[in-house]
Amino acid sequence: MIGYTTLGTNDLPRAIAFYDTLFAEVGATQMAQFGRGVGWGVSADQPLFAVMTPFDGQPASVGNGVMVSLACSSHAQVLALYAKALALGGVDEGAPGYRGDEYFGAYFRDLDGNKLAAFCYTPA
């Protein structure tokens, strides 16, 4: 159902460096370059994740309650993505662990303050 997500940035080169390195953990690469941003994905038939400077030219800001969730294939991939985000300067928003019986997730904010989750579904 989801075709792509977009988060705003005020420093495009910094955001690109963050996400190039972060998404290498899950096998995603740049699949689209725009004048105002870049999109990453794992294949053309899967959803795309993009960061862009706002179209209206105003500063990007974080949406309260907005979060993008990144599907992972295993606990190890959740842990690796979370650790990489923090190593790149991201901020912890919830340590890795189970939330419920099968949802294993970790939460962090990127360099612009956008909230992301890395998760997988596996029985506890």
Q: What CATH number does residue 47 fall under?
A: 3.10.180.10
Q: How far is CA 39 from CA 4, 15, 88, 94, in A?
A: 9, 11, 19, 26
Q: Which uninterrupted H or E stretch holds 14?
A: helix 12-23
For residues 55-70, b (16+ Cβ closer than 10 Å) or e, as one string? eeeeebeeeeeeeeeb
Domain that holds residue 35: 4-54+62-121
pLDDT digits (tens, 9 = 90+) for 32-43: 998 899 999 999
CA 28/CA 42 separation, integer angstroms: 5
For 54-95, write each residue's pLDDT tens digit.
999 999 999 988 999 999 999 999 999 999 999 999 999 999
Backbone angles phi, psi at 42, to 5 degrees: -105, -20
Tally of structural domains, the chain? 1
pLDDT tens-digit profile of 2-19?
Answer: 899 999 999 999 999 999
What is the DSSP secondary-structure string of 20-86? HHHHGGGT-EEEEEETTEEEEESSTTS-EEEEE--TTSSPP-PPTT-EEEEE-SSHHHHHHHHHHHH
